[in-house]
Amino acid sequence: MVVRPAMLYGAECWPLKEKHNTKLSVTEMRKLRWMSGFTLRDRIRHEKVGVAPVEDKIRESRLRWFGHIKRMPSNDPIRKVADLYLTYVKIGRGRPKKIWFENIRNDLSLLYLNENLIFNKTQ
């Protein structure tokens, strides 16, 4: 399939909200229906097409990238940026913006994983 790699290129770095996951899922299903000749009225589900949900694939790639970052040496530029906390930035009113590490924390808690498991790739 060509749709998923084109849509999810670089998705491991996106701080996605639920509405973004929904839009990606809808877009992928629309393209899959179009390629297989079905219409919206046919009400084809992911299980019938045999495709895993987009959200699971994004979570998988995000955790894979998180593992790569955590295993990098501490003087690596990517690791320095990942460990950077912007405490001097003035935060405006309202809810704070969702950051990438919030997604990682949610993914780890959803899968009942610990951050220390990253260093042991055999498990």
For 84, the 3-state DSSP assignment is coil
Q: pTM, whole model, 2 decimals?
A: 0.78
Region 81-97 average pLDDT: 75
Residue range of the domain that includes 114 = 3-119
Most trustworthy range by pLDDT among 43-47, 51-55, 96-100, 112-116:
51-55
For 86, the 3-state DSSP assignment is coil
Chain position carrying tokens 């990606």: 24
Question: 117: pLDDT confidence band, cut at 50, 70 and 90?
Answer: confident
Whole-angstrom CA distances from 29 to 6, 53, 59, 60, 62 are: 14, 10, 18, 19, 21
Question: What is the Cα–Cα distance from 109 to 101, expressed in whole angstroms?
Answer: 12
Burial of 1 (0-12, 13-18, 19+ CB in 10 A): exposed
Average pLDDT of the residues of the chain: 82
Question: What is the Cα–Cα distance from 64 to 122, expressed in whole angstroms?
Answer: 14
Domain count, the chain: 1
- Kindly state the DSSP code that residue 76 receives in the 8-state scheme: S
